[in-house]
């Protein structure tokens, strides 16, 4: 096997699980951070016109969907939920288009949503519970 074929084989094997970890880790940490800063997060949501009664749901989605994607379980469903979360939260919290930082944050949310939609389309790849269990969804 040539060096290029070996490198390609290794990249094909590890890219999906590493990619799942990298794209999901921000949500896992964000959800855990919201637990530790519950009052501050609740107040910030209210100041943005969003009911803080949604905060427990946000935390649950961020943490559980992130873990599901990291381990590759029900990946397409979890990725679809987080893609929608990214678009919705971006439009709600980063909608000051006159502020360059807010525009960048919105585009970041859209880019992450795009990554999740690629998971929806292609599945979890290697080293996933979905693949081990033969789960198509």
Report pLDDT for 65: 98
Question: Does residue 10 sit within a domain?
Answer: no
Say if 74 falls within a structural domain. yes
| CB contact at 8 A, 86 and 66 | no
Asked if residue 5 belongs to a domain, the reply is no
- Residue-wise pLDDT tens digits, 23-52: 999 999 999 999 999 999 999 999 999 999
Determine, yes or no, domain membership for 87.
yes
pLDDT digits (tens, 9 = 90+) for 94-115: 999 999 999 999 999 999 999 9
Q: Distance of CA 19 to CAs 3, 25, 40, 97, Å?
A: 23, 10, 31, 30
Number of domains in the chain: 1
Looking at the chain, the whole-number percentage of residues with pLDDT higher than 70 is 100
More confident position, 49 or 8: 49
Domain that holds residue 53: 18-131
* pLDDT of 9 above 90: no
**136 domain-assigned:** no
* 70 assigned to some structural domain: yes
- Closest among 118, 117, 119, 123 to 136, alpha carbons compared: 123
pLDDT tops 90 at residue 1: no
Residue 90: closest CA among 73, 112, 63, 70: 112
The more confidently predicted of residues 137 and 76 is 76
State the CB neighbour count (10 A cutoff) for residue 114.
12
Whether the CB-CB separation of 106 and 91 falls below 8 Å is answered with yes
pLDDT digits (tens, 9 = 90+) for 116-135: 999 999 999 999 999 999 98
pLDDT digits (tens, 9 = 90+) for 41-99: 999 999 999 999 999 999 999 999 999 999 999 999 999 999 999 999 999 999 999 99
């Amino acid at each position: 096997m040539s060096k290029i074929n070996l490198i390609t084989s290794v990249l094909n094997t590890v890219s999906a699980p590493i990619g799942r970890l990298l794209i999901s880790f921000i949500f896992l940490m964000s959800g855990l951070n919201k637990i530790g800063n519950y009052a501050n997060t609740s107040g910030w949501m209210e100041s943005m016109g969003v009911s803080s009664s949604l905060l427990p749901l946000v935390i649950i989605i961020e943490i559980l969907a992130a873990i599901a994607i990291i381990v590759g379980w029900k990946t397409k469903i979890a990725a679809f939920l987080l893609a929608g979360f990214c678009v919705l939260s971006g439009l709600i919290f980063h909608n000051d288009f006159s502020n360059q930082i807010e525009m960048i944050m919105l585009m970041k949310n859209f880019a992450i949503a795009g990554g999740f939609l690629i998971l929806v389309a292609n599945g979890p790849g290697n080293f996933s519970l979905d693949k081990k269990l033969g789960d198509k969804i």
